Amino acid sequence: MIQFNQKQIHIGALVLSVMIVMIGYYFYTVLQNTKEDTIQISEENVIEKEEPEEEIENQIIVHIAGEVKNPGIIKTTEGARIADVIRKSRRIK
Protein backbone atom coordinates (compact mmCIF):
# COMPACT_ATOMS: atom_id res chain seq x y z
CA MET A 1 0.00 0.00 0.00
CA ILE A 2 1.21 3.49 -0.82
CA GLN A 3 2.20 5.68 2.10
CA PHE A 4 1.59 9.45 1.78
CA ASN A 5 3.41 11.98 3.91
CA GLN A 6 1.68 14.99 5.51
CA LYS A 7 2.60 17.36 2.66
CA GLN A 8 1.11 15.05 0.01
CA ILE A 9 -2.09 14.62 2.02
CA HIS A 10 -2.49 18.40 2.38
CA ILE A 11 -1.88 19.00 -1.34
CA GLY A 12 -4.35 16.25 -2.28
CA ALA A 13 -7.00 17.70 0.04
CA LEU A 14 -6.41 21.18 -1.41
CA VAL A 15 -6.73 19.94 -5.00
CA LEU A 16 -9.88 17.99 -4.13
CA SER A 17 -11.38 21.06 -2.41
CA VAL A 18 -10.63 23.28 -5.42
CA MET A 19 -12.24 20.74 -7.77
CA ILE A 20 -15.38 20.55 -5.62
CA VAL A 21 -15.66 24.37 -5.54
CA MET A 22 -15.21 24.58 -9.34
CA ILE A 23 -17.85 21.92 -10.00
CA GLY A 24 -20.26 23.62 -7.58
CA TYR A 25 -19.69 27.00 -9.25
CA TYR A 26 -20.29 25.47 -12.71
CA PHE A 27 -23.64 23.94 -11.69
CA TYR A 28 -24.64 27.16 -9.91
CA THR A 29 -24.06 29.23 -13.07
CA VAL A 30 -25.85 26.69 -15.27
CA LEU A 31 -28.91 26.75 -13.00
CA GLN A 32 -28.90 30.55 -12.94
CA ASN A 33 -28.73 30.74 -16.76
CA THR A 34 -31.68 28.39 -17.27
CA LYS A 35 -33.89 30.72 -15.23
CA GLU A 36 -32.87 33.72 -17.34
CA ASP A 37 -33.17 31.94 -20.69
CA THR A 38 -36.90 31.35 -20.31
CA ILE A 39 -38.63 33.37 -23.01
CA GLN A 40 -42.35 33.71 -23.44
CA ILE A 41 -43.54 34.30 -26.97
CA SER A 42 -47.10 35.14 -27.73
CA GLU A 43 -48.32 35.53 -31.27
CA GLU A 44 -51.74 35.73 -32.72
CA ASN A 45 -52.55 33.31 -35.50
CA VAL A 46 -53.24 35.34 -38.59
CA ILE A 47 -54.95 33.78 -41.59
CA GLU A 48 -54.48 35.65 -44.82
CA LYS A 49 -57.65 36.27 -46.72
CA GLU A 50 -57.39 34.33 -49.95
CA GLU A 51 -61.10 33.96 -50.62
CA PRO A 52 -64.18 36.17 -50.16
CA GLU A 53 -65.50 36.31 -46.59
CA GLU A 54 -68.68 34.39 -47.44
CA GLU A 55 -66.66 31.31 -48.34
CA ILE A 56 -64.34 31.66 -45.35
CA GLU A 57 -67.28 31.45 -42.95
CA ASN A 58 -68.12 27.98 -44.27
CA GLN A 59 -64.49 26.86 -44.32
CA ILE A 60 -62.80 24.84 -41.60
CA ILE A 61 -59.04 24.60 -41.21
CA VAL A 62 -57.74 21.31 -39.79
CA HIS A 63 -54.19 20.39 -38.83
CA ILE A 64 -53.63 16.70 -39.55
CA ALA A 65 -50.55 14.82 -38.32
CA GLY A 66 -49.48 11.27 -37.71
CA GLU A 67 -49.41 8.42 -40.15
CA VAL A 68 -50.73 10.24 -43.21
CA LYS A 69 -48.89 10.76 -46.48
CA ASN A 70 -48.76 14.57 -46.27
CA PRO A 71 -49.37 15.92 -42.74
CA GLY A 72 -50.15 19.60 -42.37
CA ILE A 73 -52.98 22.10 -42.58
CA ILE A 74 -56.02 21.09 -44.63
CA LYS A 75 -58.79 23.50 -45.63
CA THR A 76 -62.20 21.89 -45.91
CA THR A 77 -65.83 22.90 -45.83
CA GLU A 78 -68.14 22.87 -42.86
CA GLY A 79 -69.75 19.47 -42.39
CA ALA A 80 -66.80 17.50 -43.80
CA ARG A 81 -65.93 14.21 -42.16
CA ILE A 82 -62.58 13.06 -40.84
CA ALA A 83 -62.28 10.61 -43.71
CA ASP A 84 -62.60 13.52 -46.17
CA VAL A 85 -59.73 15.36 -44.49
CA ILE A 86 -57.56 12.22 -44.58
CA ARG A 87 -58.31 11.76 -48.30
CA LYS A 88 -57.35 15.39 -48.95
CA SER A 89 -54.06 14.93 -47.08
CA ARG A 90 -53.16 12.11 -49.48
CA ARG A 91 -53.75 14.27 -52.56
CA ILE A 92 -51.78 17.35 -51.50
CA LYS A 93 -48.38 17.99 -53.16
* pLDDT tens, position by position, 7-17: 999 999 999 99
What sign for the dihedral angle of Cα 42, 47, 53, 59?
Answer: negative
Task: Evaluate if residue 91 carries a pLDDT over 70.
Answer: no
**Phi, psi dihedral angles at 4 (to 5 degrees):** -105, 140
Residue 89 burial by Cβ neighbours in a 10 Å radius (0-12, 13-18, 19+): buried
Which pLDDT score, from 0 to 100, does residue 10 have?
Answer: 96
Q: What is the pTM of this model?
A: 0.35
Q: Please tell me the distance from the alpha carbon of residue 39 to that of residue 81, in angstroms, as a whole number.
A: 38
